[in-house]
Structure 1
């Protein structure tokens, strides 16, 4: 550990619950060793860590969606004078290669949760005039970037007079934040009401440990957001869904100003838009309860967001009628009826499917809806061939959230197919306990007024 250097990882302050699980997955995938200098809290936007070499950090940063940037720390402290002493005492042998006359440079000043004017930031920058830099300043495209950061906590409404922590270091790499904007749903060709936003899609792909050449499946594909993310990291992607109209781009458009979908809207169109067509295998219209894959066909990862019965129906092919048959003359044009596909059965089938069609060590990454007050880890879907590796929460409102579950296959199926633990009917409870919306309240009040007015007229006529 003596050759390990200290680095600062500075994160974006969104989806903070997924930060550690994403990094743990990538450290495992890339076979990189990282240790904490100190255990971070969930809310703080930075980690102090150690890596054996700079290349490991660059390799990790190139995949991290939650990371803004990484620095090689030359000094840090809970007060400014001590920080300057640390920087001045930093070994000159490690500092001088970046200070030579041939190297252009700039120093960025950042204050977190407290605003300063540009002049005040320049004044802070001037306090580093003791640095032995010989090169010229280049603000647009420097050879070396230094960062000075003052951290004032996470509450911008009441920042302290002095910073809690201050840092100075050399910029090493940015995270993959730019890809979030490139894949924005605002400019995507084909989207729907439940299209997964790019950041969460990429986080799921990272937790699935997708790498070049992997074969990936989303069995509830919708408009294919997860396929786009998986293909970005080199996966060859399949999708399937029971919704024929969605996969053929014939549903109502979800964009407010769009009255009709374009003829070429499709999952494939999205892949072409992002130059990922070579990673696109196919999407299939299929009922998930009817298995159409060969028994020995294995995927490297399965990532999916199953329907919960709120914005998208949980359905499978079936009928409540007994002894139902279809005449041969109507068979060619028959559209199968659908029945409810309970959440408990859906997740039980999903885990069993993964046992059959995931490789050993392959991962299932999926969302699972819960009522926060009722949540207990024992209510999560289980299977004795899969181990739960990660469980992160995204809060939706004060009552509900969804958990991002990451399972890893540890063995092949035996006669015992795992525990079919009962899962709460999320849809039924959602509609039983849901608070009335403003629109519903207005309509109810209008109906009451209308009813009272009619009663008044009847009494007085």
Structure 2
């Protein structure tokens, strides 16, 4: 007999809306999962699909940080009466498994607030469910959710909800990792340390898995290495900023006057218990060749400097034929010149095309000035296929794109 596909509701946090499907599609591709989409999320925070098993639902949720929870969808409608009719029909043949279990019903609303008394009244509407087990508010065997969706405008809530859902809770997404890796409690941070939610999304879009070798060539304080290590990747990074990598820059916390002696990328790895996945960080100029010709990487995730909060520099000199005396070598600090943004991305894509494995991914940020924006300005390379472009708005005039590339062929020599 074939597997019976069931309907599932994926409910997302209402943050980074433009990133949801890029993350989900990367996870689905990583695990080779096929879905049948019934209702795709646009601005609304839910996605309804058909899948062959709960194990697959849990596999997806084990990686997604944009996902709040997943339900086996028992009924959905735009009208309350229809929802009850659908639920009665569904549970007539499917509730026997859960009949004796302890349970609770949770009411969730989107863009409308109800008092606890009103929520209890909504729960009472479902007293026709033939559940004989005890009500248990903490860790019940069965958790049922009733969702009411009132649109996206918090200043206008319609009298009736636009969508109603009822289902059995299966699992939550990985939202707890956002708090775990919070910059507020992280030992070593800088002015440009990446938000943990975005870092984890980048690792998902890079499809980082256990044993993968992952590089951040503009590593800074190592936020992206933390996310990649969390998912089992072996991580390494480079950066031209010697003082940053050695924890000697000015502290970015207002309350902190001096850096602690052990404040560095490795300290963060120790803090989160992922030191065994940390290879190292190296002071290096990305514009200069460092790696062996045959060095292969599974993923590159990075946030190149834009010249706003961090300078875009490379080793160089404006002097003609400048030389260094022998006695100066030991203490010499190389001079730097401007590293043009176009050069940075040309070098980044060229490097990725050369050193990524086939199907390996490059995930990077690209700055965007809305007046000048055109798709032709998005960097390209013949060996790399652009899979996703998600926009994060920074101001009225600026934003940045999270670009996800896949290596499809070796570069021509």
TM-score bracket, normalised by the shorter chain, equals: over 0.9
Q: 2:34 corresponds to which residue?
A: 33
SS at match of 2:166: strand
Q: What is the alpha-carbon distance in structure 2 between the residues aligned to residue 96 and residue 343 of structure 1? A: 62
> Residue 170 of structure 2 is aligned with which of 161, 169, 172?
172
Q: How does 1:110-149 map to 2 (within 5 A)?
A: 110-149=108-147
> Residue 295 of structure 2 is aligned with which of 294, 297, 300?
297
Residue 324 of structure 1 and its aligned partner are, at CA, apart by 0.4
Alignment RMSD (CA, Å): 1.0
Q: 1:253 corresponds to which residue?
A: 251
Q: What is the alpha-carbon distance in structure 2 between the residues aligned to residue 2 and residue 189 of structure 1? A: 48
Q: What is the alpha-carbon distance in structure 1 between the residues aligned to residue 40 and residue 259 of structure 2? A: 50
Q: What is the alpha-carbon distance in structure 2 between the residues aligned to residue 38 and residue 76 of structure 1? A: 11
Range that drifts further, 390-399 or 86-95: 86-95
Aligned residues: 412
Range that drifts further, 86-95 or 73-82: 86-95
Q: 2:211 corresponds to which residue?
A: 213
Residue 377 of structure 1 and its aligned partner are, at CA, apart by 1.2
Q: 1:68 corresponds to which residue?
A: 68
Q: What is the alpha-carbon distance in structure 1 between the residues aligned to residue 160 and residue 28 of structure 2? A: 35
Q: 1:18 corresponds to which residue?
A: 19
Residue 4 of structure 1 and its aligned partner are, at CA, apart by 1.5
Q: Does 1:92 align with 2:102?
A: no
Does the Cα contact within 8 Å between 2:91 and 2:129 map onto a contact in 1?
A: no
Q: 2:226 corresponds to which residue?
A: 228
Structure 2 stretches of 5 or more lacking a match?
none
Find the structure with the greater CA-based Rg.
1
Q: 1:43 corresponds to which residue?
A: 43
TM-score relative to the length of structure 2: 0.98
| Deviation readout 1:28-55 (Å, 9 max, x if unpaired) | 0011111211333x21011111111111
> Residue 397 of structure 2 is aligned with which of 393, 399, 403?
399
Q: 2:201 corresponds to which residue?
A: 203
Q: What is the alpha-carbon distance in structure 2 between the residues aligned to residue 312 and residue 292 of structure 1? A: 22
Residue 3 of structure 1 and its aligned partner are, at CA, apart by 2.2
Q: What is the alpha-carbon distance in structure 1 between the residues aligned to residue 120 and residue 349 of structure 2? A: 57
Q: What is the alpha-carbon distance in structure 2 between the residues aligned to residue 260 and residue 38 of structure 1? A: 52
Q: How does 1:325-364 map to 2 (within 5 A)?
A: 325-364=323-362
Range that drifts further, 372-381 or 138-147: 372-381
Q: What is the alpha-carbon distance in structure 1 between the residues aligned to residue 176 and residue 329 of structure 2? A: 50
Does the Cα contact within 8 Å between 1:33 and 1:52 map onto a contact in 2?
A: no
Q: 1:78 corresponds to which residue?
A: 78
SS at match of 1:89: helix
Q: What is the alpha-carbon distance in structure 1 between the residues aligned to residue 243 and residue 49 of structure 2? A: 49
Residue 94 of structure 1 and its aligned partner are, at CA, apart by 2.0
TM-score relative to the length of structure 1: 0.88
SS at match of 1:361: strand
Q: What is the alpha-carbon distance in structure 2 between the residues aligned to residue 179 and residue 331 of structure 1? A: 45
| Deviation readout 1:317-345 (Å, 9 max, x if unpaired) | 01000010011011111110000000011
